[in-house]
Amino acid sequence: MQDKNYLMIPGPTAVPPSVLEAISRPMFGHRTEEFAAMYKRIVEKLQMVFQTKNDIFVMTQTGTGGMETAIANAVSPGDKVLALVTGNFGERFAKLARIYGGEVDELSFAWGSPVNVKQVEEKLAANQYKVVLATQNETSTGVLNDIEGIGRLVAKTPALLLVDGVSGVGGIEIKVDEWQVDMLVTASQKAMMLPPGLAMVSVSKKAWEVIEKNTSPRFYFSLPAAKNKYDSWNTPYTPGVSLYVGLDVALDMMVKEGMDNVYARHKLLARATRAAARALGLKMLAEDDWASPVVTGIYSPEGIGADDIRKIAKKEFAVTFAGGQGILKGKAFRIAHMGFADKMDVIIAIAALEMALKKAGYPVELGTGMKAAQEVLLGGND
């Protein structure tokens, strides 16, 4: 059955039917009161999700375009940049800063480990940075970084803190104002439950002062241009109207569930997934203390290729897991439980994983992982 397709990759993720309906509504113009009222509603709801009073711009591009927007507006040639790297997406952020002429110090941590805040403190004490780059949820490894701890340190310096929240925001709590995040970037196709095509960027007052002096070439990614229209709830260039309509609906769903419940749901699904994988004798990429609530990275067993497991799950059960990225290619796979994911999605994932492992030749007693997952799911949101 071609239409049964269990998408368990960390973006794009499954889109709720009501959001699919919303994006297929007839087109309307963006230079209208209707669009302005919608943009205002969207921003107010995003401010609640971001926990900020800062401006939040919705831009028609995917997450990488959002990351480039942050860099192109904050980094001028010659700026000293500290990049905290815990995986593939941390590397991408650092690469972007170099492309825009930043002199980048990379503080890298082993894949599967989080940022060591103590080392950040030492780096900040010894150097004068203009910009610090961090990843909230490192999608490539399933590691959650301590943005609160990093934010506390960076706030004491003149540097701006830019956070890649692409795969986390909407599934993992973030407190932009309290944690003093100067620019937070996220995108539509992860925990926000939409198709890919929108990025969202928040900008603090401290960031605006830097942005206004920035000399990098930018037009489509220009935040001053966006700000100029934002004050009348519009966009400088044609926005992706359909996806905005979908975002409005997706945010309503999140408001209705309650953000605390949304975050608890993601944590529960992560715990169930990890318990199941452990019961099957598998090793996690990340320790429990810094495990991502939205995606779980798992090493494939000795002698069995991660991509073989993925191929069987896809072919036999229409379940798509993500592969390992970078140095983990072929050695690990990832199960996403972000956005429109609930208990039965974990059940499907674990059942498919057990059967794929068995087919791949790994000695597994069917139901072992399932039992562990069910026990966590029954335990509730504690």
Asked whether position 140 contacts its own copies by CB under 8 A, the answer is: no
Asked whether position 234 contacts its own copies by CB under 8 A, the answer is: no
- The residue range among 24-32, 46-54, 347-355, 371-379 that interacts with its own copies, by the rule CB under 8 A, is 24-32
Among 87, 112, 170, 197, binds its own copies (CB under 8 A): 197
Asked whether position 294 contacts its own copies by CB under 8 A, the answer is: no
Sign of CA dihedral 327, 330, 335, 336: positive
Asked whether position 247 contacts its own copies by CB under 8 A, the answer is: no
- What the block records as the tokens of 234 is 């519009």
CB of 255 to its own copies, least distance (A): 22
Asked whether position 189 contacts its own copies by CB under 8 A, the answer is: yes
Q: Which 3-state string (H, E, C) describes 43-109? A: HHHHHHHHCCCCEEEEECCCHHHHHHHHHHHHCCCCCEEEEEECCHHHHHHHHHHHHCCCEEEEEEC
* Angle of CA points 351, 356, 357, to nearest 5°: 100
CA distance 356 to 259: 34
Listed in order, strand segments (DSSP E) in 274-377 are 295-299, 319-323, 332-336
CA distance 352 to 318: 9
Asked whether position 60 contacts its own copies by CB under 8 A, the answer is: yes
Residues 313-332 that bind its own copies (CB under 8 A): 320, 323
Among 241, 284, 295, 377, binds its own copies (CB under 8 A): 241
**CA distances from residue 51 to 115, 171, 177 in whole angstroms, order as listed:** 23, 13, 6
- The residue range among 50-58, 171-179, 194-202, 371-379 that interacts with its own copies, by the rule CB under 8 A, is 194-202
Instruction: Please give the single-letter amino acid code of residue 360.
Output: A
- Decide: 210 and 160 in contact? Cβ < 8 Å: yes
304 contact partners, CB below 8 Å, separation of at least 6? 357, 360, 361, 362
Asked whether position 61 contacts its own copies by CB under 8 A, the answer is: yes
DSSP state of 142: T
Among 39, 50, 57, 68, binds its own copies (CB under 8 A): 68
Judged on CB neighbours under 10 Å (0-12, 13-18, 19+), 285 is buried
- Give the x-and-dash track for 101-130 against its own copies (CB under 8 A): x-----------------------------
Whichever of 4 and 256 has its CB closer to its own copies, that residue is 4
Q: How many helices (H) and strands (E) does the chain have?
A: 13, 13
DSSP state of 172: B
CB of 219 to its own copies, least distance (A): 5
Whichever of 99 and 125 has its CB closer to its own copies, that residue is 99
Among 108, 242, 264, 278, binds its own copies (CB under 8 A): 242
> H-helix or E-strand containing 162?
strand 160-164
- Count the residues in the chain: 382
- Decide: 200 and 46 in contact? Cβ < 8 Å: yes
CB of 187 to its own copies, least distance (A): 8
Among 158, 237, 260, 329, binds its own copies (CB under 8 A): 237
Whichever of 47 and 242 has its CB closer to its own copies, that residue is 242
The single residue listed with the structure tokens 């009348």 is: 232
Asked whether position 25 contacts its own copies by CB under 8 A, the answer is: yes
CB of 10 to its own copies, least distance (A): 10
The single residue listed with the structure tokens 């999140």 is: 254
CB of 171 to its own copies, least distance (A): 16
242 contact partners, CB below 8 Å, separation of at least 6? 23, 24, 25, 27
- Decide: 100 and 214 in contact? Cβ < 8 Å: no
Asked whether position 99 contacts its own copies by CB under 8 A, the answer is: yes
Whichever of 89 and 109 has its CB closer to its own copies, that residue is 89
Asked whether position 303 contacts its own copies by CB under 8 A, the answer is: no
Asked whether position 7 contacts its own copies by CB under 8 A, the answer is: yes
Whichever of 80 and 152 has its CB closer to its own copies, that residue is 80
Residues that bind its own copies (CB under 8 A): 3, 5, 7, 9, 11-15, 20-21, 23-32, 60-65, 68, 72, 95-96, 99-101, 187, 189, 195-197, 216-221, 236-243, 320, 323
